[in-house]
């Protein structure tokens, strides 16, 4: 791509800032337009009565040395490595994550059913999994057996994704769900195992200031980042964007981190066929409640807990003060709870907040002595893309259409994929390198 060509970036979340940073490294300074009053997207933090809250749980996991070295360079060593302490709450007790490798402590009948199912599944397997042809429910049964599927995989994923597991494809599975060996499953059933499995065995978190320190580290070396500039229109014929303030900018290439379904509302004159394509993209939403509390209750060094059963309205609860003591005043703690919802599973948001508090008290994560010192609510419209049977074809057609018109989607929401923050950083790098090679 020649330097005189004009590239614009829509969205100053992690992916957009990474794209801008990598282009800047090659001597190309691109305007970045962000609808909020600050950079970071969902990777932001806010201070409430002395507590620092993130927009739900955001942790850094690394499997790529380039991403790790880049973040370490940006942070200048001001981020801390933690060994994961993740748990599952089910059958009135806590067991270690992942469920399939940590059955110890569950009722004997549950352990027996899970072990027998896993052994049968291992015997049935011939030549490995063919998950490309399976739905998620079929894959869990082929991989883990009926017991593990019924007691954890089905209820948790139905609760999280808001659709039945049989409606999900397996395109999102890579590295997300650890598959233990038969030996590991039996070891984890006979005694409490501290052997960690999965891609997020370790995580990194800023020593101070919350997760917003990551986007702030990127933006320090960038020019022309314009906040409070929501995109209201993308004119493909003129190759021009328009913001809510009336500002117009021409582009040759547009890097977009805007959620993919939103493009059908921003681009005028779309054909009926393309509107139908965008309409087939589905997602869940996350209602996030952050609480700052006195530390009279459970002070164990847990990082987060999964809740697969329907009797708790949330699917996950995390404890940020265990990520960094800087996030809560001395003698205080913090937690976040997440409720998933969608068009398939709507909720009454006002009642949901009271239900969260009720259920936290019911299971003892809030004790009668705990005083709630701070409260923060975030309603996150776009949580995770839903990988249903329409996902692959609709996404591919949408991306192909945008590419042909000089728009290059990027990041979890722009490219419409299940991504970690590391993935978003690398996706920004990918798009920047693709454009500079053109």
* Calpha distance 22→373 (Å, rounded): 41
316 secondary structure, DSSP code: E
Long-range contacts of residues 28-32, Cβ cutoff 8 Å, at least 24 apart? 28/3, 28/436, 29/222, 29/223, 29/224, 30/224, 30/255, 31/224, 31/225, 31/226, 31/249, 32/8, 32/222, 32/224, 32/225, 32/226
| pLDDT for position 4 | 62
CA atoms within 13 A on the CB side of 204: 19
Q: Report how far residue 104's alpha carbon sits from residue 75's, in angstroms, rounded to the nearest whole number.
A: 39
The sign of the torsion formed by the CA atoms of 194, 200, 202, 208 equals negative
Contacts of 65 (CB under 8 A, 6+ apart): none
- The domains located in the chain, with CATH, are 7-43+209-281+390-437 (3.50.50.60), 100-191 (no CATH), 283-385 (3.90.660.10)
Residues 212 and 42 sit within 8 Å (Cβ to Cβ) = no
Separation between Cα atoms, residue 208 and residue 211, nearest integer Å? 9
pLDDT in tens, the chain (438 residues): 444 689 999 999 999 999 999 999 999 999 999 999 999 999 999 999 999 999 988 999 999 999 999 998 888 768 899 999 999 999 999 999 999 999 999 999 999 999 999 999 988 875 555 667 899 999 999 999 999 999 999 999 999 999 999 999 999 987 788 999 999 999 999 988 778 877 788 999 999 999 999 999 999 989 999 999 999 999 999 999 999 888 999 999 999 999 999 999 999 999 999 999 999 999 999 999 999 998 755 556 899 999 999 999 999 999 999 999 999 999 899 999 999 999 999 999 999 999 999 999 999 998 888 889 999 999 999 999 999 999 999 999 999 999 999 999 999 999 999 999 999 999 999 999 999 986
Where are any strands of DSSP class E within 177-245?
202-206, 225-226, 231-235, 240-243
How many angstroms separate the Cα of 357 from the Cα of each of 96, 143, 315?
24, 36, 14
pLDDT at 1: 41
């Amino acid at each position: 791509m020649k330097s005189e060509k004009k590239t614009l970036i829509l969205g100053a979340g992690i992916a957009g800032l990474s794209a801008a940073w990598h282009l800047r490294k090659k001597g190309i300074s691109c305007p970045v337009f962000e609808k909020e009053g600050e950079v970071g997207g969902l990777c932001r933090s806010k201070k409430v009565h002395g507590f620092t809250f993130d927009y739900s749980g955001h942790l850094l996991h690394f499997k790529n040395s380039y991403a790790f070295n880049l973040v370490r360079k940006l942070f200048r060593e001001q981020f801390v490595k933690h060994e994961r302490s993740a748990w599952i709450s089910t059958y009135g007790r806590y067991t270690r994550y992942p469920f399939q490798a940590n059955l110890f402590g569950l009722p004997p009948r549950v352990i027996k059913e899970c072990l027998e199912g896993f052994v049968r599944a291992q015997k049935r397997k011939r030549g490995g999994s063919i998950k490309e042809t399976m739905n998620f429910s079929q894959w869990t049964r082929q991989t883990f057996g009926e017991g593990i599927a019924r007691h954890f995989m089905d209820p948790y994923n139905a609760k999280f994704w808001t659709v039945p597991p049989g409606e999900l494809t397996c395109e999102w599975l890579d590295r997300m769900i650890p598959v233990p060996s038969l030996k590991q499953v039996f070891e984890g059933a006979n005694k409490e195992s501290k052997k960690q499995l999965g891609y997020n065995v370790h995580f990194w978190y800023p020593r101070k200031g919350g997760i917003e320190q990551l986007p702030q580290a990127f933006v320090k070396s960038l020019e022309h980042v314009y906040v409070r500039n929501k995109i209201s229109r993308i004119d493909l014929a003129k190759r021009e964007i328009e913001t809510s303030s009336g500002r117009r900018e021409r582009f040759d290439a547009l890097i977009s981190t805007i959620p993919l379904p939103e493009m059908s509302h921003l681009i005028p004159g779309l054909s009926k066929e393309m509107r139908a394509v965008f309409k087939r993209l589905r997602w869940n939403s996350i209602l996030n409640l952050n609480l700052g509390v006195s530390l009279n209750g459970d002070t164990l060094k847990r990082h987060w807990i999964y809740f697969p059963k329907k009797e708790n309205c949330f699917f996950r609860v995390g404890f940020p003060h265990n990520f960094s003591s800087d996030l809560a005043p001395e003698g205080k703690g913090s937690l976040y709870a997440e409720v998933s919802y969608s068009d398939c599973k709507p909720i009454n948001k006002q009642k949901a907040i009271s239900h969260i508090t009720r259920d936290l008290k019911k299971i003892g994560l809030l004790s009668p002595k705990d005083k709630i010192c701070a409260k923060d609510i975030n309603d996150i419209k776009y949580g995770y893309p839903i990988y249903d049977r329409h996902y692959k074809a609709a996404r591919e057609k949408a991306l192909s259409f945008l590419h042909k018109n000089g728009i290059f989607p990027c990041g979890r929401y722009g490219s419409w994929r299940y991504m970690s923050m590391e993935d978003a950083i690398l996706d920004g790098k990918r798009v920047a390198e693709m454009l500079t090679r053109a």
